[in-house]
Amino acid sequence: MSRPPRQGGVGRLLLHALAYAVIVFLLLPTVLVAPMSVSPEKYLQFPPSGFSLRWYGEYFADREWVEATLFSAEAGIISAIGATIIGTMTALALVRGRIRGRAFVELLIIGPVVVPHIALAVAMFLVYEQLRLTGTLVGFAMAHIVLALPFAIFTILAALYRFDADLEMAALSCGASRVATFRHVTLPMIAPGVASAALFAFIISFDEAVVSFFISDLDRKTLPRKMFEDIDFDVSPVLAAVATMLSLLTIAVLVMGHFFKQMADRRAAPAAAGGKE
């Protein structure tokens, strides 16, 4: 890996300095909130004047926060299950199926990502009001499944492309049915991809703020909706505690996602030997 002699010096150093500065810019705001959340004072300060879990205690003691969190968790779990099942079916149809109007289906898949969430949010609000779905678990689950599906489908598609379709052919030609082939060959092979799809669908639903802002009602709201209201009202230290816990949750999700990816890499290894990049 000898680099040509011209490569180097000041330019390279500047470039790296800039890149690290950008990383600090990316991480710093959220990282600074964590120490502020353990400050005992009533207003946010940095550095914290001491260590106290007072604001965490207030969060857990507040019925509204806890209820909003549980509601978000419920919506998140249902959305994860829904998006994973529908996502797997759709991805299978796209890779192994014959679909008329494929271009339309593909446009529909990226639709919820490119259509601004504000547009979807008010549109859903309009229809949900008429159907009495605002503030209901069903309403949130349907909305969040739609928002999570693009990411779920793409994750599972990637898993399907990585896996050697010859294995399916082998099972089929040995007399296994399509369903048995899927259950015993395809599904175990793409399981890590499906698991990360579920994980990301959960976090998309759990963190979703814009649609939730509109389809919540007074007594049933998600955690992001509750946060939005509180931030607009007053930047209290309880919010710092909530923000810190949410950041930790994200770290947990990413670590798990990384673990699933490694599993996927190991499973795809034999296929990779067969000439893929």
Partner 1 sequence: MSARRPAAFFLGGRHLSEAASLALIVPFLVLLVVVFLLPLGTLLHESLLVPKPTLANYERVFGEPVYLRVMWRTARIAVYVTIVTLLLGYPLAYVMSRSSGLKLGLMAAAVLLPLWTSVLVRTYAWMVLLQRNGLVNEALTGIGFIDAPIRLLYTEGAVVLAMSHVLLPFMVLPVFSALKGIPEDYPRAALMLGASNWSTFREVIWPLSLPGVVSGCLMVFLLALGFFITPALIGGPQQMMIATLVSQQVREMLNWPFAGALVGVLLAFVLALTIAFNRFIRLERFVGTRS
The smaller minimum CB distance to partner 1, of residues 53 and 248, is found at 248
- Within 10 angstroms of residue 11's Cβ, the number of other Cβ atoms is 10
Shortest Cβ 173–partner 1 spacing (Å) = 9
Binding residue for partner 1 (CB under 8 A) from 77, 81, 122, 263? 122
**Residue 183 DSSP code:** I
For the CB of residue 66, give the shortest distance to partner 1 in the complex, in Å: 18
| Contact call for residue 19 and partner 1 (CB under 8 A) | yes
The type of residue at 135 is G
Task: Give the residue, chosen from 53, 66, 113, 256, that forms a contact with partner 1 under the rule CB under 8 A.
Answer: 113
Return the residue of 13, 66, 231, 256 that touches partner 1, per CB under 8 A.
Answer: 231
Least Å distance, CB 7 to partner 1, is 7
Pick one of 59, 205, 264, 267: the residue that binds partner 1 (CB under 8 A): 264
Tokens 């549109």 correspond to 123
SS3 string, 36-95, reads HHCCCCCCCCCCCCCCCCHHHHHHHHCHHHHHHHHHHHHHHHHHHHHHHHHHHHHHHHHH
Site residues (CB under 8 A) for partner 1, limited to 152-191: 154-155, 157-159, 161-162, 165, 168-169, 172, 178
> Is residue 48 close enough to count as binding partner 1 by CB under 8 A?
no
Q: Smallest distance, Å, CB 2 to partner 1?
A: 10
* Main-chain dihedrals φ then ψ at residue 8, nearest 5 degrees: 150, -155
Q: Is 145 within 8 Å of 79 (Cβ atoms)? A: yes
Compute the distance between CA of residue 94 and CA of residue 177 in angstroms, rounded to an integer: 19
Min. distance of Cβ 100 from partner 1 in angstroms?
A: 7
Q: Find the binder of partner 1 among 117, 220, 221, 267 (CB under 8 A).
A: 117
Instruction: With CA atoms as reference, report the closest residue to 204 among 23, 29, 55, 83.
Output: 83
Q: Which stretch binds partner 1 (CB under 8 A): 49-57, 60-68, 73-81, 202-210?
A: 202-210
Task: Identify the three-state secondary structure at position 275.
Answer: coil
DSSP classification of residue 5: T
Selected from 56, 65, 71, 200, the binder of partner 1 by CB under 8 A is 200
Which of 73, 81, 167, 209 is in the footprint of partner 1 by CB under 8 A?
Answer: 209
Q: Please, what is the minimum distance in Å from the beta carbon of residue 172 to partner 1? A: 8
- Burial track 80-101 (b if 16+ CB lie within 10 A, e otherwise): bebbbebbbebbbebeeeeeee
Q: How far is the CB of 62 from partner 1 (least distance, A)?
A: 17
Residue 98 beta carbon to partner 1: minimum distance, rounded to whole angstroms: 5
Residues in contact with partner 1, shown as a per-residue x/- string from 73 to 112 under the rule CB under 8 A: ------------xx--xx-xxxxxxxxx-xx-xxxx-xxx
User: Quick count: other Cβ atoms within 10 Å of Cβ 226?
Assistant: 22
